[in-house]
Each structure stands twice: as C-alpha cells, then as structure tokens.
Amino acid sequence: MMREDNVRDLLGITLVEERAGRAVMTLTVTDALTNGFGITHGGVVFTLADTAFAVACNEDERITISSGADIAFLAPTTSGDVLTATAVRRARRGRTGLYDVTVTADDGTVVAEMRGRSHTTSRTLTH
C-alpha cells in the first residue's frame, strides 16, 4: 500500500515504525504546507494522521479502509516543525476496528488527536 501512496510522496511523509495495530509516521512542515495564517494547514495534519491510521489498520493481506474519522486540532505548528503521528489499535472485532492517532510536534506538544474507524473488506492485496 505505501509503495503506491502518491499523497505520502507528495507531502514527504516518512514511515518510522510499522507493526500489527501500530504505525508511526513523520512529516516536516514546509512553507507550501501552511495556510494563509502561516500555520500548518489542518488538512495536512489530518492527512498525516490518516496515513498512520491506514498503515496501522492494514495488518494483513485483507484491504482495510476507513469508515470514518474525527479529529480535534489542539495546537498550531509552523514551517520547519516536524510532526509525528502515532496510530494505535484500540479494538478490532470482525471487520470493524477502532484506532487512536496522536499527532505531536517535535517539542512534544500534542497537535491533534484523531479517532479512526476501519472496515476490513473481502478484497486482498495483490503484489
């Protein structure tokens, strides 16, 4: 999945850790990723969190997709900041999963909290 993720490449999102039910991703904020107020665009923060969520919930050969997500933006960041998204599985029953993602700045400040809901399909990855 990550090899074909064009948005990850476009934004410069890096995979730091991947294991069943957990993923850690980083992104360095550039001027191009800030909004008119000079702070990191909320869509960029969400995309980083969503990417970590996607990696964490795709634990096996079955394709798992998002069925929904909610995010709370807690602190602004600016160009030059390194953001880290840590996604952790909270529950997985049948085809449904629940994952929490914390996005932090390089100084440890919590930037955002996201809760994602996953749905495992009957499709499998082809290599």
pLDDT digits (tens, 9 = 90+) for 81-110: 999 999 999 999 999 999 999 999 999 999
Per-residue confidence (pLDDT) for residue 50, from 0 to 100: 96
Per-residue confidence (pLDDT) for residue 4, from 0 to 100: 66
Tell me the fold of 2-124: Thiol Ester Dehydrase; Chain A (3.10.129)
The SS3 of residue 49 is: helix
Q: pLDDT by residue (tens digit) across 1-40?
A: 555 677 877 888 999 999 999 999 999 999 999 999 999 9
**Distance separating the N- and C-terminal Cα atoms of the chain:** 10
Q: Where are the domains of the chain?
A: 2-124
Per-residue confidence (pLDDT) for residue 1, from 0 to 100: 54
* Segments in the chain forming alpha helices (H): 6-11, 42-57
